[in-house]
Structure 1
Amino acid sequence: MPINISLCMIAKNESDFIGNCIKSALPYVKQIIVVDTGSTDQTPEIAQSLGAEVYPFSWINDFSAARNYSLEKATGDWILFLDCDEEIDPNLGHHLMEAIQSENYDAYYLDIRNLLGEDQEITFQSVRLFRNLPQFRFKGKIHEQISDSIFQHAGPARIGRLNVTLLHHGYNPKKVNIPSKIVRNVRLLEESRGDRVCRDGFYLYNVGIEYTRQGQYQKALENFIEALKVTNPSSGYAPPLVYKLVVCLIELGRYRDALEQLAYFQSIYPDYGELFFLQAASHIRCGRYSLAAHSIEKATKMRHRNPKYPVEGKVFGQSPEQLLSQIRPFLLRGAKQFQLSVCILAKDEEKNIARCLRSVGEIANKIMLIVTECSDNTLNIAYQMGANLYRLNWSDSFAKLRNFALQNAGGDWILFLNGDEEMNLADLPVLLEGLNTSTSVGHRVLLRTFFDPNNRGNYQEQAVCRVIRNKHDLHYHSRFMEDVDRSITEKHGEIALTCLPVTVFHYSQNVKSQSRQAVFRRNVYLLARDMKEYGRNPVLHREMGFQFYKAGKYKAALAHFQVAHGLFGTIIPANLYYGMIKCLFKLEKYNETVTVANTAIDLYPDYTDLIYLQGFSYLRTGSLQAARECFERCLQLGDAPWEKYHRGSGVASYLPHCRLAEIHLLQGDTDKSLEHYRSAAQTVGGADLAIPPLTDILLSQSQPGRVLEYLNENNLDNCRNLCTAAIAASKNKCLLESLELWQAAVEKFIAAKDFEQYQAIAAAMFHALTDIYMEAIEHNPNAEQLQKIREFFKKTRQNYFPI
């Protein structure tokens, strides 16, 4: 039998609205029930003329009683309830019919769009569609709710979210007498005051609950605060009110405020275990895992001690056991035998600073955030996560900022980070063990800089000194460079500076060109001032070269590298050769690249990156055999030692495989080429580079469906790879293959529910649509509508979905 919907409404004197409301629902419902609570206008007649069943109901000052009476008359499999001053958005109503076919949910949130007049509106979500089950009933005499009943009998996982909007006119002053509504509500509250102490506080509490369920935590918090002002701590709803208030603070990232509130209310409700779970949640979000574990243990011991407190069972969707299981590998505070200060330099890092702070919360005894200026929310985030804030005047010197940190940090060791960096949590035990037994003065760690936020396989690595003993004879020199190494070795000898196998992740921002230019000019200016002060210094010229290289100014970069080469004398550092060779390659001086690389490789035979660049230069000059030998050597050597060299990602894995694939393709051996592209795609970070040419080869073989088949056979058929192949197929004007790959990607996405792949799926589909439209324009040059959207597709692909 077909599944159908009953529309249930209660009404009184709604003749101005009820007709439009029912008409908006007619295409989707089989039964219409109107419970009339005493209309004196044409409300019942209008409803009946539109096919509604109208039932009179004696008003008893209880909205839930009237609502539940309407449910008793419903015969549909599902119930949709509306207020008379609401309408279903006709553009979205069809989703109702799709939703009731699902077996995954028992109820749905719909969007309620409050039209306030004067182009003002507020949109929130509310449960309005649910299965017709006897256990689902409304509660509350005013601001009646069905959600509590559904939560109780079905659980939150059975409530979905539906792309259907209800247009609500009930708060438009041009259409509704708002003051009369307020009078009615106040009257009902006054009449109900005797049912519970401080009923007005309970009302505000319930309003806050609804906002919480909708994810509008700031609005919920405002209601909870107002409720708390008029609520007696002994009231039955006071403990859960406190609980929900703290939940909102945590969801808003106000962890310090949450912990302060918890400390106060734990003195009032000392046996309310759920408050300690919230304390744990606050600590976890700040990276203080040992403190969180301690709070969970305290909460678990008292959890069932007092039955008057509600037991949530989970905190933010996870049980205490799940939380402990997740944080157990990071419970390190008890193993730490030293005091650590973490000093962070930041400017406008609101997107990154929480990640940075969280990564050191477990091991830090003191966190110092140092800024000279800040125009975003960085300082507030850091404050709420427990950092000590320091504002300093900018004096054209990063060294002065770092030296300020050295002078004011406490403890035995100091760890330096920037606001767009974070410690690798998996390496923290290694850091602790190393510092517990260290006899060194400073430690270099591995700094891994990511260039693509969507591809963690694309990075560059180098050793940097970030961990030093808290000794007053150490200081930074350069205005720009991180050169505390020099201070350590000059005062304590070369052996005082060692390496720890610990990784710091650096997230290089994709900033606008104008911002990049500003940063470049600042860095060059600071280095120039250092040069003026210290003279012709090879280290400064080398760093200047790297700054010009990052800015794409390869001739100027090479000039500085060459000056540094002359100043270093007989011992040329490996990374200077690295910079020179990369510049020569970018300038397409491949013969010179090979010559310099030969010299460098003789000195540094284990520097894989130089061998790769040498091979790439051979490839560009057509010396295929020499290039092949270089790339095969890269695969044999593996990654260069990070303690000695700057190195890039993939030079010992997917990059030589891709270059070997090119060589075999040039020689006509497509099977060997496919083999190397497959190997590259199976390596972390290599798929984005290898999948497009692999797809091109398979498409050139003119076998429909071969690309998808090949990816499936070789276990390369994840969502991102399928989307990458779909874009490549679209570029080759193979539309059917592109759509086939995209469909397979969508199926993978739906099965895995990996929402991070939204962007990849959107990019693949957008490229396909763009190519369809461009081809359509090519064959229909006079089609005005197609011409209008040409620029839209062109600009959108360029700005948001570049290949």
Structure 2
Amino acid sequence: MASLSVCMIVKNEEQWLPKSLESIKNLADEIIIVDTGSTDKTKEIAKTYNAKIFDFKWDDDYADARNFSISKATSDWILWLDADETVSKKDHNYFKQIMKEEKFPIVVLEQRHYTNDKKNPQFKPVDDRYKKEAMGFEGYYPTLITRMFKNNMGLKFEGKVHETIDKSMQKLGLKFLRTDIPIHHYQNFKSDTMTKEKKEKYEKLLKEKENYDPSDLKNLHDLAVTHLQKNDLKKSFSYFRKIYDLDEGLLEPYLGMGIIWAKRGDYKRAIKFFLTAISKDTKKSIELTSPVETIRETILFNLAMCFLRTGEKPKAMQIFKDMIRLGSRFTPQIQDKLKELGISSN
């Protein structure tokens, strides 16, 4: 039977590490813990789970630490996690089946970021299967991410922050299996201070990356999104514009700039950006795990919302009804909006 190494990089995670390790102790054949300078009981906790613990001098580069962690793995497969993440025991057999079949060398999982923020356009209500894992949260928003892969294939992480193996995977010409197996992420349980410090640290590393590699599309996109989340629309727009100047074929800059115009109240200009994006025939996206179809779906939802703002209700209704018919992930938000407008979704 194929073996699995679970690899983690940690620092001062005594609060969350036990729950994370408990969730994978019967799945992992080997647990690799790379500690970047803990001063609490993180290492002591890891020892109780028979983890192999290695020290790593932090160098402001998450990819370096990740690559060090996977270099210590000796199993057939690698699954990488953060200390504030868990895997449901209900899904252990799915992991084992994927490793046994070996149809794909890389597996994309669904990272579920738990939240009660129903205004998030990606908000999904918690399903009955994972009520326990939701820990009281009403819902989550999902992101797809490459989390499991075969060992000894030459895969490397890239990115000082928001590190992935995507570029490495592309260079090696490897295919991946996209699944809906969830990784449960509990970032929103952490204090506002910790969250703020983490975001500031990420932004600093992204800026450093931009200084020596100003044409890295993923890094520019991460910066654009970071400033958009801070509501710094001017800076965010400038980064989306840089992406557009580097590759006009991508949809992400049209989506980002359209959202910014909508936030500024210029819905007609936002609509122009969204319509231009929809008309483009492209299969490219900045992140391999974010398919173009998903980006188009987000554009359509925002386009419909802008049509409502400009009084073009029939156009918005047509988009909404088509999205519901096709089983869009935005269906709950669309149904809420239709209910607000007093319109049946049938």
- Which amino acid in the other structure matches residue 392 of structure 1? I
Check the 8 A contact 1:594/1:614 in 2, yes or no: yes
Match of 2:6 among 343, 349, 355: 343
Equivalent-residue separation in structure 2 for 1:478 and 1:642 (angstroms)? 14
Aligned to 2:301: 658
Check the 8 A contact 2:250/2:286 in 1, yes or no: no
Shift of 1:390: 1.9
Aligned to 2:135: none
Match of 1:390 among 51, 74, 77: 51
Shift of 1:377: 9.7
Instruction: Tell me: CA distance 1:340–1:616, structure 2 relative to 1, closer, same or farther (3 Å).
Output: same
Shift of 1:646: 6.3
Equivalent-residue separation in structure 2 for 1:575 and 1:625 (angstroms)? 28
Equivalent-residue separation in structure 1 for 2:333 and 2:318 (angstroms)? 14
Structure with more relative contact order (C-alpha pairs < 8 Å, separation 6 or more)? 2
Match of 1:501 among 173, 177, 180: 177
Check the 8 A contact 2:252/2:286 in 1, yes or no: no
- Which amino acid in the other structure matches residue 652 of structure 1? R
Match of 2:272 among 613, 626, 629: 629
Aligned to 1:469: 152
Instruction: Tell me: CA distance 1:356–1:650, structure 2 relative to 1, closer, same or farther (3 Å).
Output: farther
Equivalent-residue separation in structure 1 for 2:291 and 2:200 (angstroms)? 18
Equivalent-residue separation in structure 2 for 1:458 and 1:634 (angstroms)? 24
Equivalent-residue separation in structure 2 for 1:668 and 1:589 (angstroms)? 28
Equivalent-residue separation in structure 2 for 1:459 and 1:350 (angstroms)? 24
Equivalent-residue separation in structure 2 for 1:649 and 1:450 (angstroms)? 20
Shift of 1:513: 4.2
Check the 8 A contact 2:110/2:142 in 1, yes or no: yes
Equivalent-residue separation in structure 2 for 1:573 and 1:478 (angstroms)? 10
Aligned to 1:459: 142
1:416 matched to 2:79? The reply is yes
Equivalent-residue separation in structure 1 for 2:244 and 2:270 (angstroms)? 15
- Which amino acid in the other structure matches residue 337 of structure 2? P
Q: Per-residue CA shift, 1:556-597, capped at 9, x if unaligned?
A: x3x66455333215xx11112212322443454545544543
Match of 2:213 among 568, 576, 583: 568
Check the 8 A contact 2:113/2:140 in 1, yes or no: no
1:367 matched to 2:29? The reply is yes
Equivalent-residue separation in structure 1 for 2:99 and 2:286 (angstroms)? 20
Check the 8 A contact 2:161/2:206 in 1, yes or no: no
Match runs of 1:86-105 below 5 Å:
none
Instruction: Tell me: CA distance 1:457–1:690, structure 2 relative to 1, closer, same or farther (3 Å).
Output: farther
Equivalent-residue separation in structure 2 for 1:649 and 1:379 (angstroms)? 44
Shift of 1:695: 1.8
When the two chains are superposed, the root-mean-square deviation of aligned CA atoms in Å is 4.9
Equivalent-residue separation in structure 2 for 1:446 and 1:601 (angstroms)? 27
1:428 matched to 2:98? The reply is yes
Structure 1 residues not aligned, in runs of 5+: 1-332, 334-338, 383-388, 436-442, 525-546, 551-556, 699-706, 715-803
Instruction: Tell me: CA distance 1:658–1:468, structure 2 relative to 1, closer, same or farther (3 Å).
Output: same
- Which amino acid in the other structure matches residue 300 of structure 2? H
Shift of 1:628: 1.8
Equivalent-residue separation in structure 1 for 2:248 and 2:160 (angstroms)? 34
Tell me which structure has the larger Cα radius of gyration: 1
TM-score between the two structures when normalised by the length of structure 1:
0.31
Q: Percent identity?
A: 7
Instruction: Tell me: CA distance 1:400–1:634, structure 2 relative to 1, closer, same or farther (3 Å).
Output: closer
Aligned to 1:158: none
Secondary structure of the 1:668 match is coil
Check the 8 A contact 1:639/1:652 in 2, yes or no: no
1:512 matched to 2:164? The reply is no
Equivalent-residue separation in structure 2 for 1:638 and 1:466 (angstroms)? 28
- Which amino acid in the other structure matches residue 568 of structure 1? D
Aligned residues: 300
Check the 8 A contact 1:618/1:624 in 2, yes or no: yes
Secondary structure of the 1:661 match is helix
Aligned to 1:224: none
Shift of 1:480: 8.2
Aligned to 1:691: 335
Q: Per-residue CA shift, 1:657-694, capped at 9, x if unaligned?
A: 33223322223233333333444555443134323322
Structure 2 residues not aligned, in runs of 5+: 36-40, 116-124, 127-138
Runs of 4+ in 1 over 6 A off after TM superposition: 375-380, 398-402, 474-481, 483-486, 645-649
Check the 8 A contact 2:80/2:148 in 1, yes or no: no
